[in-house]
Amino acid sequence: MLILWLLTLGGNIVAPPTVHISDLITQSRSYEGRVIVTEGEAVGDLMLRGEYGWVNLSDGSNAIGVYAPSKQLEQIKHLGRYEIVGDRVSVTGTFYDACPVHSGETDIHASSVAIASEGSVVDEILDQVRLKLSLELALLAILAFLFRQFVRRAGGGQRK
């Protein structure tokens, strides 16, 4: 029984809670200073600054900065931008609502960073509806211009 209890306890220690980024942002006080696991899409830019660096993870609604060793961050190959789906990154680390090291900002100090799933570059397909609309509106502008010139030449729009 004692061994079983110790195993359970051990399990609790090595398995920190998995928390959504939005929950970290909205219920930040509950997780202050705790080791958590979270997952999100790497977005924007990979900001490597010597030994350590930053990446921002997003869950679509909220985003958070992750501070981690640059070597771990270098695994990230795709960063979410227009027509790019960023790598889904799983982070284990300490969450800070107001980080004492980084002047009170909300962040995660990662102890481990892993790629949960690789991102991809989306091939942009020309939208036929948009193409038609833009051509029609460009034509409308040309016709309006010609109409204005015609009216002015006919004397209707001339300043007298």
User: Which residues in this chain contact another protein in the complex, by CB under 8 A?
Assistant: 25-26, 28-29, 43-49, 53-54, 56, 58, 60, 62-63, 65, 67, 80-84, 97-98, 100, 102-107, 124, 126-127, 130-131, 133-134, 136-141, 143-145, 147-148, 151-152, 156-160
Residues 6+ away with beta carbon under 8 Å from 17: 34, 36, 37
CA–CA distance from 129 to each of 17, 126, 132, 140, 142 (Å)?
Answer: 46, 9, 5, 16, 20
Nearest approach, Cβ of 38 to another protein (angstroms)? 15
Nearest approach, Cβ of 147 to another protein (angstroms)? 7
Go through 140-150 and write b for each residue having 16 or more CB atoms within 10 A of its CB, e for each that does not.
eeeeeeeeeee
Nearer to another protein, 6 or 81 (CB): 81
Residues 6+ away with beta carbon under 8 Å from 117: 87, 88
Nearer to another protein, 10 or 157 (CB): 157
Nearer to another protein, 8 or 134 (CB): 134
Q: Which amino acid, 25? A: I
Nearest approach, Cβ of 92 to another protein (angstroms)? 19
Nearest approach, Cβ of 66 to another protein (angstroms)? 10
Nearer to another protein, 16 or 53 (CB): 53
Query: What are the start-end ranges of the E strands in 2-160?
Result: 35-49, 52-58, 63-69, 84-85, 88-96, 107-117, 120-121
What are φ and ψ of residue 133, in 5° steps?
-60, -45
Nearest approach, Cβ of 29 to another protein (angstroms)? 8
Nearer to another protein, 28 or 111 (CB): 28
